């Protein structure tokens, strides 16, 4: 597990890639040091063209194999074969069930890093492979609701009523039109006022925790995973998510400045852990929008892995137009274009999360 006390940030100690300096503050000249790869045989690759190793063991190998099934000798055939693996039409429960229910907060106060996209697609992939999944949209923009095909126009019963009016989750939850074992608590624009309205409410930071507890003790007792999609801020909504969960999943975009602000996020998690929720920990870091053509993406990935070690999933999510198109159709990329690289990568990331949780 990562040492969450790190890093000790000072404003003028930004290192390469925006990462705060550790020992000596001050600018760090020269090229960015890329540590010797200590990853288990992980090299970013063009997933469609690199040769296959004999036995797929690492996620990247399975992605390659999924994308070029031997029985399919045309690109369309290969995509179709990958799609079948993702969509799992037989409905087999081929991911391990969690040892106990897992509640994950997907948080990063930076906007546009892939929180919502990851929440939606990991949830869809887990649900397609045997889990019952509840997604809670905690962002007033309601992007996760859009991506999961859950109506969320103003006035729709939503997480706002759950947090402010004590309405049970069971009364506002919607079942996915595409995946029966996937449920969404939508967010409407009404939630925009909640940060302020919550301030004067009793037990303001544990409203979500109580609501989830009541749901899983009753009508939601079949839920295996709860994923909470946070807004891009560290306000009362994100605080509610951190109090309600044990695991934080941090998506990190493979871009310049990706690591800036991470120290603040880790400090917030430490504060919540010390004062409100001793079980809280960063369990998972997911590298998103990885572009194999840029050296920068590799540098960011290496930097993140050197600091966070095994917390970082081996699978990285590639930058892909299909991923960004899917919400326009009210879908995850997993259902919109299941044979695409982004979809297969989210399937593999979900598999890693499921496997890790099974051994806890
Ligand atoms: N792997 C990806 N490839 C291409 N575009 C992506 C990818 N992941 C996310 N995006 C796009 O980037 C934007 C920000 O992603 P989003 O998940 O909404 O971030 P956040 O929730 O952290 O603000 C969205 O337009 C989304 O469609
Ligand atoms: Mg979002």
Query: Mind listing the pLDDT tens digit for each residue in 146-155?
Result: 999 999 999 9
Q: Please give the domain boundaries of the chain with CATH numbers for all domains.
A: 98-358 (3.40.50.300)
40 band by pLDDT with thresholds 50, 70 and 90? very low
Q: Residue 14 has what DSSP assignment?
A: B
**Ligand 1 atom with the shortest distance to the CA of 119:** 17
Answer with the residue of higher pLDDT: 75 or 172.
Answer: 172
209 band by pLDDT with thresholds 50, 70 and 90? very high
**Ligand 1 atom with the shortest distance to the CA of 251:** 22
38 CA distance to ligand 1 centroid (A)? 28
The protein residue whose alpha carbon is closest to atom 16 in ligand 1 is 114
Q: Which has the closest alpha carbon to 359: 283, 288, 249?
A: 283
Question: What is the predicted pLDDT for the residue at 79?
Answer: 80
Question: What is the predicted pLDDT for the residue at 81?
Answer: 80
Arithmetic mean of pLDDT, 309-318: 96
117 CA distance to ligand 2 centroid (A)? 7
pTM for the full predicted model = 0.82
pLDDT at 48 over 60: no
301 CA distance to ligand 1 centroid (A)? 17
- Token pair listed for 314: 């081996």
pLDDT at 24 over 60: no
**Ligand 1 atom with the shortest distance to the CA of 111:** 23
Question: What is the predicted pLDDT for the residue at 69?
Answer: 57
Question: What is the predicted pLDDT for the residue at 118?
Answer: 98
Question: What is the predicted pLDDT for the residue at 173?
Answer: 98
111, 117, 254, 319: residue to mutate for ligand 1 pocket, most atoms within 8 A of CB: 117
Q: Which residues approach ligand 1 with their CB closer than 6 A?
A: 111-117, 143, 232, 288-289, 317, 319-320, 323-324, 327, 342
287 band by pLDDT with thresholds 50, 70 and 90? very high
Work out the percent of the chain whose per-residue pLDDT is above 70: 79
- Could you tell me where the DSSP H helices lie in the chain? 59-67, 75-87, 115-128, 143-147, 159-165, 194-197, 207-217, 236-244, 262-275, 295-308, 321-325, 333-336, 341-358
Q: To the nearest 10°, report the CA torsion of 317, 2, 226, 202.
A: -130
> Lowest-confidence range among 32-41, 65-74, 136-145?
32-41
């Amino acid at each position: 597990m990562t040492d969450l006390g790190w890093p000790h940030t000072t404003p003028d100690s930004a290192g390469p890639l925006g990462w705060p300096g550790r020992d000596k503050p001050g600018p760090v000249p020269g090229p960015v040091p890329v540590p010797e790869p200590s990853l288990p045989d992980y090299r970013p690759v063009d997933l469609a063209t690199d040769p296959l190793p004999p036995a797929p063991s690492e996620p990247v190998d399975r992605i390659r194999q999924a994308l070029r099934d031997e029985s399919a000798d045309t690109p369309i055939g290969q995509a179709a074969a990958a799609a079948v693996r993702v969509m799992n039409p037989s409905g087999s429960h081929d991911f391990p069930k969690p040892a106990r229910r897992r509640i994950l907060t997907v948080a990063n106060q930076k906007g546009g890093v892939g929180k919502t996209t990851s929440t939606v697609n990991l949830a869809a992939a887990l649900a397609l492979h045997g889990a019952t999944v509840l997604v809670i949209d905690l962002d007033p923009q309601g992007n996760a609701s859009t991506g999961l095909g859950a109506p969320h126009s103003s006035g729709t019963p939503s997480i706002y009523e759950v947090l402010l009016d004590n309405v049970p989750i069971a009364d506002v939850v919607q079942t996915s039109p595409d995946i029966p074992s996937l449920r969404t608590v939508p967010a409407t624009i009404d939630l925009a006022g909640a940060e302020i309205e919550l301030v004067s409410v009793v037990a303001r930071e544990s409203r979500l925790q109580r609501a989830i507890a009541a749901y899983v003790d009753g009508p939601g007792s079949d839920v295996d995973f709860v994923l909470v999609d946070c807004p891009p801020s560290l306000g009362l909504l994100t605080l509610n998510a951190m109090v309600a969960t044990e695991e934080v999943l941090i998506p990190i975009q493979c871009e310049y400045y990706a690591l800036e602000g991470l120290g603040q996020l880790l400090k917030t998690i430490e504060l919540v852990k010390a004062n409100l929720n001793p079980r809280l920990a960063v369990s998972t870091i997911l590298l998103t929008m990885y572009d194999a053509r840029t050296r920068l993406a590799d540098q960011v990935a290496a930097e993140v892995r050197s600091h966070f070690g095994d917390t970082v999933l081996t699978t990285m999510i590639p930058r892909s137009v299909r991923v960004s198109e899917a919400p326009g159709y009210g879908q995850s990329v997993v259902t919109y274009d299941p044979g695409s690289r982004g979809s297969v990568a989210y399937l593999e990331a979900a598999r890693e999360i499921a496997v890790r949780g099974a051994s806890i």
